[in-house]
Structure 1
């Protein structure tokens, strides 16, 4: 059977699909309207089932459809009630649409289009808002996912797991060639600090400024874009770390005193620790690296024609971290798949010998451990006692293809008091629910690695966060006029990192003068020293936000309730949590795990005639050179059933251990020149120095003898000379990465002038703090 994805006809040909996405970015919040049009070219009515990915923290607030010129507005209801309504509509020959979030993962949605007659067109439109992540270089990142990786079901569990890709990925036509869906994508950007530039992994039209002060701009995907990979947009503001506060008026039709009826304030703070307090710890910490070695890690990072495999990126990421650990700390490395293995029985002290031993094993790491079972190695790590005086930091590297996402997140949350969890999503299609969820409950930081271009600063940012001293006694205070009460919606942050954004939501109850001013103050302690970050804001409502703040706040509250209820709630408590989630979800029109959007075409004059054909998504991957990968499913089963209570029962399910039997139809790879930066990192010693040899000087495009001849006469140690050359090269030619190695260096001042002459750069002594 040929693996295809998309809506297929009886002749195994793709249906006619096209989509459009309109993105509005206001500050650090994105409002997205996504539209998909489909025409049923079959001779019988079709029930189309689309499964597609979405960012984990997205808040879907509107869904409607248009069929036969009639607009059908969806209502949000309790999930089982919505499913029953959908089933009843189809059984009576009516047309219906059902949009629901996965029970197991917040970043996966299922859209069912029921009873679409032969030859008829349908258009579905959904809208959502989301907070934009801040990258290590200050960019705001928006991602439009094109790929939903198959989710592996751990052994012994019976989970209804999704095995599909986005409705917008390429499909295989009858001839076997790729037939991409058409996509139009436009973005309107607005920020009072000014839009500096926009970058993307896809071709864009030139950035067009709509105002002379550059506070508004627009950009689009270039015509002819093939939606065969995630669309990543990086927006750079002139002053990205400015604290902001926005007050949004309540919904006039909502009940006064409710979340939607009262004004809300959204505060974004960037704590800046004093330089003395933010110095990285020199030798404290236990660092556990948990690396995905399942078969799916042997897939390409993206659908691009060339590029590294995921396991290669994981090895490079691990190399960066191992070379940057402080002397005297402890570390260990786990690999996991269907089983797991640790490099050392217990964490070992970080020395030149243990680092060399670990690096040798890292180089031999392959994607050869079968399925993706992360829960058991987590339990093994948590079962080991922490070392006194060495706070444990867990770093997880995975493509996120697991079906028990909530179980994994709950396990991390149980042990958040003794561990911090930093996560790296490797490759396109990594589960944002898993990567962000583990980091959120583990008081860490998530990163997504989709290529080598920005891997290094992302990795080092997470390590700097892990090395920062613990922040204690975090308290959020509000100073507002008399008669006004501030009710927090989001929890006070449990962890703070220098320069890391904290977003807080609060409800404003009571009467107040909109010309008055409020003050939000985040207080915390570093060691014995108290510190404070604050921002004042006008209580006047912003007229241009719509209900964005309310929708994001509702989603934040729902997620907090769901996560708290899933761990602590039992019996009646769980039911109470569900009732509250359903109430907030329906009032705010924001979808949740317990609710769904349902739309029924009640204006249809007669029932749809003929047998209803089910059409489901099928997974397809691309190899490194563009050929299709062949997956081995044991057995490969299409399960079609009428019982909607078994979530996603119509999708292909893994019944085996996963990806052990992949075949690649690819030509041998052409020789790829290694990144000189990674070469330099691989040559660094545990104490931060380098040895003078041919491998090192080749990074500088010099010969070893030439480097030796230029060494100052008063310097007798070649390692000192080699180290200053390495640091000069970093500062002179890779200044964007210079902070990665400043914590490890010898006394190098005598070599500075000679090194500048040899390398042809001009680095001042104060730059190296000499």
Structure 2
């Protein structure tokens, strides 16, 4: 006779259920452990409160002085506490990637406290001690050459603290036109393989991930209003007659007095959701060919040389392979992928019949259109257009395999190999990528095309430098045709080579190795000498001629900071030497720290700290200050759906839900069988 197993062994089901729960417990623990923490690629979205205001508000005011190519900026950040209790604020913000940050002050009421430059860890310790002691303080740190964090402590309810940075930059001169770019927000970064479980990472700067949490600030939901507005005033003295002054992506008001211009934003303030780019065009008769400036600082003399080689008219005649690499990761969704695909199709249409080409698309993985480079026949180009048009953006940003595959396309014969890399540069592992490019590019040349309203310009510049190429930016549909035309003009012409600026023998010069120059690109060279430089002769060669030119020195405009500009170039050189293995990381740290402290420069090993020595006297005894991260604006054209990148986390969530399903099934079975027994 059949016996009901539940009636016969009533404890067995309880035992099985207990074992199931115990088996699934690690999944609960693992998943619960991840709930309050960040994983690589996770972004925090922040919306305003019911009154349309963020608890901690930042207003940014930039006062810009441009003399020729020299740019001096006073950059004010006003932190305003709109909550009912005291707060400590943290703000991640971008600056131009070649900026030299030389000063920092804080203003509290009528008091101004001068910041001091210190080694990074010492500055952190001083700041934390001040916070514990109830003092107002500010700490400015570099996370990348174009990305910084500002920490401000003990902002009382309704009060403001003003932090002022001063930095130096240099305007670009390309294609007969000057330009200056001020970034205002960042594209959310993807950090392959980095555990973001600690919001406040203490990873030392020497790891290359100085503070991974700084790459993942919160972002404001679209439509939240001008939560962090930008005001901008630019005084432009081009030093020559100008025919045009305009901004690419902002409406401006322009006032002219003789050859000097004052530029402001038409609406007074702007959303900090896209780069501000100013351009000015010299009159044809006044287009600069060369300039040499010298300034004395202490016992040393610092010089800046800018020279434009003769126009390169000789077209490139060697047979050529071009490998196009297009970023289709999640950060490229929306306008960015549309612009990237349009730019790539424009480039494919410009191929010569003698060219061979291939296309690589990547996100988490990469795919090649052809197994090997194909001749650019009309059918091959049509197939490429169709292949590119079907690309969709989504996933992580795994650049290493894609770049490795691109360099592997090099035929290593008499054919040139050019790699065109189209991306927003939304990665945090820049150092790893620069090393890869330096070590594996070989005879290939890498050209970068920055996409979007807030691209990672540091990555674009340094990747192109490591790959001995150059770069362009595309931020709107109107940019596609002119920027791709400019890129292909460079691809189609031989570079100026073997350029030698004839500095004195004792000069310390940066860049130490003068790069090749592409069509319509000038040479910039910085030198430190013990005696004044009266003239310099520059020589070089193009495909059609040898050339030389002698320049006579002029005094730099007062307050130009030539020493700091030279020191910024020296720091970049030391960092490059570390990336290619010529210097150990310890020597890089020691040398960068020494240069930065001597010239009072922010770097990844030195920080500015300012402390008000009077403790804050609150009107009542409030709670301890809350630590709030100031949210950044999402880049224009980007939606909040793009922030969910693939994770480098475990399968804890999946395991949890499977466990819950099993437990529910077990409980249901137990309940049903008990009913049957009854």
Q: Which TM bucket (shorter chain)?
A: 0.7 to 0.9
**Distance in 2 (alpha carbons) for counterparts of 1:288 and 1:58:** 32
Q: Deviations over 1:383-423 (max 9, x none)?
A: 45534111111111111111111111221122344111111
Which of 447, 459, 467 is residue 472 of structure 2 equivalent to? 447
**Distance in 2 (alpha carbons) for counterparts of 1:367 and 1:421:** 23
Aligned to 1:590: 601
Secondary structure of the corresponding residue to residue 428 of structure 1: coil
Aligned to 1:752: none
**Distance in 2 (alpha carbons) for counterparts of 1:634 and 1:429:** 18
**Distance in 2 (alpha carbons) for counterparts of 1:91 and 1:272:** 61
Aligned to 2:182: 144
Aligned to 2:320: 285
**Distance in 2 (alpha carbons) for counterparts of 1:267 and 1:465:** 23
Note closer, same or farther for the CA distance 1:170–1:22 as it changes in structure 2 (3 Å cut).
Answer: farther
The alpha-carbon deviation at position 452 of structure 1 amounts to: 2.1
Q: TM-score, normalised on structure 2?
A: 0.80
Note closer, same or farther for the CA distance 1:223–1:273 as it changes in structure 2 (3 Å cut).
Answer: closer
Aligned to 2:39: none
**Distance in 1 (alpha carbons) for counterparts of 2:52 and 2:243:** 50
The alpha-carbon deviation at position 500 of structure 1 amounts to: 0.8
Aligned to 1:476: 501
- Structural mapping, 1:22-37, within 5 Å: 22-37=63-78
- Structural mapping, 1:297-446, within 5 Å: 297-299=332-334, 309-368=335-394, 370-446=395-471
Aligned to 2:555: 541
**Distance in 2 (alpha carbons) for counterparts of 1:439 and 1:631:** 27
Aligned to 2:273: 229
Asked whether the 8 Å contact 2:133–2:615 carries over to 1, the reply is no
Aligned to 2:512: 491
**Distance in 1 (alpha carbons) for counterparts of 2:272 and 2:371:** 43
**Distance in 2 (alpha carbons) for counterparts of 1:367 and 1:310:** 9
Which of 231, 242, 251 is residue 195 of structure 1 equivalent to? 242
Note closer, same or farther for the CA distance 1:606–1:161 as it changes in structure 2 (3 Å cut).
Answer: closer
The alpha-carbon deviation at position 190 of structure 1 amounts to: 0.8
Aligned to 1:462: 487
Note closer, same or farther for the CA distance 1:195–1:327 as it changes in structure 2 (3 Å cut).
Answer: same
Note closer, same or farther for the CA distance 1:469–1:127 as it changes in structure 2 (3 Å cut).
Answer: same
Secondary structure of the corresponding residue to residue 601 of structure 1: strand
The alpha-carbon deviation at position 436 of structure 1 amounts to: 1.1
Q: Deviations over 1:441-466 (max 9, x none)?
A: 21111111011223212112222212
Note closer, same or farther for the CA distance 1:341–1:619 as it changes in structure 2 (3 Å cut).
Answer: farther
User: In terms of Rg, which structure is larger?
Assistant: 2
The alpha-carbon deviation at position 606 of structure 1 amounts to: 6.1
Asked whether the 8 Å contact 1:265–1:505 carries over to 2, the reply is yes
Note closer, same or farther for the CA distance 1:424–1:98 as it changes in structure 2 (3 Å cut).
Answer: same
Asked whether the 8 Å contact 1:40–1:120 carries over to 2, the reply is yes
Secondary structure of the corresponding residue to residue 57 of structure 1: coil
- The alignment status of 1:507 with 2:528, answered yes or no, reads yes
Asked whether the 8 Å contact 2:95–2:183 carries over to 1, the reply is yes
Q: TM-score, normalised on structure 1?
A: 0.71
**Distance in 1 (alpha carbons) for counterparts of 2:103 and 2:351:** 47
**Distance in 2 (alpha carbons) for counterparts of 1:78 and 1:219:** 37
Aligned to 2:160: 121
Which of 254, 273, 278 is residue 207 of structure 1 equivalent to? 254
**Distance in 2 (alpha carbons) for counterparts of 1:335 and 1:553:** 39
Aligned to 1:238: 283
The alpha-carbon deviation at position 555 of structure 1 amounts to: 0.9
Asked whether the 8 Å contact 1:3–1:619 carries over to 2, the reply is no
Note closer, same or farther for the CA distance 1:437–1:418 as it changes in structure 2 (3 Å cut).
Answer: same
**Distance in 1 (alpha carbons) for counterparts of 2:645 and 2:472:** 33
Secondary structure of the corresponding residue to residue 360 of structure 1: helix
**Distance in 2 (alpha carbons) for counterparts of 1:224 and 1:31:** 21
Secondary structure of the corresponding residue to residue 62 of structure 2: strand
**Distance in 1 (alpha carbons) for counterparts of 2:365 and 2:494:** 34
Aligned to 2:611: 600
Asked whether the 8 Å contact 1:171–1:179 carries over to 2, the reply is no
Which of 294, 308, 330 is residue 295 of structure 1 equivalent to? 330
Aligned to 1:20: 61
Aligned to 1:532: 547
**Distance in 1 (alpha carbons) for counterparts of 2:585 and 2:57:** 44
**Distance in 2 (alpha carbons) for counterparts of 1:508 and 1:554:** 13
The alpha-carbon deviation at position 206 of structure 1 amounts to: 4.3
The alpha-carbon deviation at position 164 of structure 1 amounts to: 4.9
Q: Please, which runs of 5 or more residues in structure 1 have no aligned partner?
A: 257-261, 300-308, 636-652, 658-770
Aligned to 2:8: none
Aligned to 2:199: none
Aligned to 2:297: 251
Aligned residues between the structures: 592
**Distance in 1 (alpha carbons) for counterparts of 2:476 and 2:234:** 23
Quick check: which one's strand share is greater?
2
The alpha-carbon deviation at position 341 of structure 1 amounts to: 0.4
**Distance in 2 (alpha carbons) for counterparts of 1:519 and 1:163:** 43
Note closer, same or farther for the CA distance 1:116–1:228 as it changes in structure 2 (3 Å cut).
Answer: closer
Note closer, same or farther for the CA distance 1:576–1:8 as it changes in structure 2 (3 Å cut).
Answer: farther
**Distance in 2 (alpha carbons) for counterparts of 1:68 and 1:623:** 35
Larger RCO: 1 or 2 (CA < 8 Å, sep 6+): 2
Quick check: which one's helix share is greater?
2
- Of 232-241 and 325-334, more deviation after overlay is shown by 232-241
Q: Deviations over 1:512-563 (max 9, x none)?
A: 5x8xx4123132353xx6512424213x533x24143222211111011012
Which of 504, 518, 522 is residue 535 of structure 2 equivalent to? 518
Q: Deviations over 1:628-649 (max 9, x none)?
A: 63456489xxxxxxxxxxxxxx
Root mean square deviation of aligned Cα: 3.1
Q: Deviations over 1:113-139 (max 9, x none)?
A: 022233322111111111223354x33
**Distance in 2 (alpha carbons) for counterparts of 1:632 and 1:435:** 21
Which of 576, 589, 594 is residue 563 of structure 1 equivalent to? 576
The alpha-carbon deviation at position 285 of structure 1 amounts to: 1.3
Aligned to 1:724: none
Aligned to 2:21: none
